[in-house]
Amino acid sequence: MNQLKRFLKRSVITILALLFCLFIFRGSLYRQLFSYKTIGHRKNYKAFDKELTDYIDTKTPFSKQADIKDIIQFSLQLTSETLTFRIAKNENDPNKLFKTKKAHCVGYSAFFSSTCNYMIDKFGYANRWSSEPLIGQVYFCGINIHQFFKTSFFKDHDFNCITNKLTGEKYFVDPTINDYLYIDYVNVK
């Protein structure tokens, strides 16, 4: 009986430790297992709705010292706070999405890009940085996962590229995955 208790206790501790490690290293693990391939571009909307820009301004947690990574993190967080995922046909214009608050990956990507570009402009980085919504396909261990789905909804997936116009440096993010798994950056082929 004592051996069984010890075995169960060790098993539970091992499982908890494993789950803890998976949680801590989820971003690295995700980037190792999943990669994205760009197959197109989406329309890049400008945030012009007064309610939306006021909302972004009031939520902004930092001052002029913000760098591009701060802006990316803030834009991911604001997108996640503002939108909820819905598979049905949705609006993609962030100026309208702000009111409906429902989107699929296309809307998440558009809202993120609009927020990110607004912040880039606000902090005077527009001559150096820009965010763009991309159409892509997701690969798991090198295998395109979209081939396993028969519906047109899963034919592709939207994500974003934030590019330094001067150096060519790029950051790739998936606002939809960030909303559910809290993974910030993604790997692109």
What would the pLDDT profile of 44-58 be if each residue is shown by its tens digit?
Answer: 999 999 999 999 999
Alpha-carbon separation of residue 146 from 2, 37, 40, 106, 156 (angstroms) = 50, 12, 15, 16, 7
Query: Which are the contacts of 47, defined by CB distance < 8 A and separation ≥ 6?
Result: 53, 56, 94, 95, 114, 115, 117, 118
Written out in words, the top-level CATH class of the domain with range 35-181 is alpha beta
What would the pLDDT profile of 144-179 be if each residue is shown by its tens digit?
Answer: 988 888 776 678 999 999 999 999 999 999 999 999
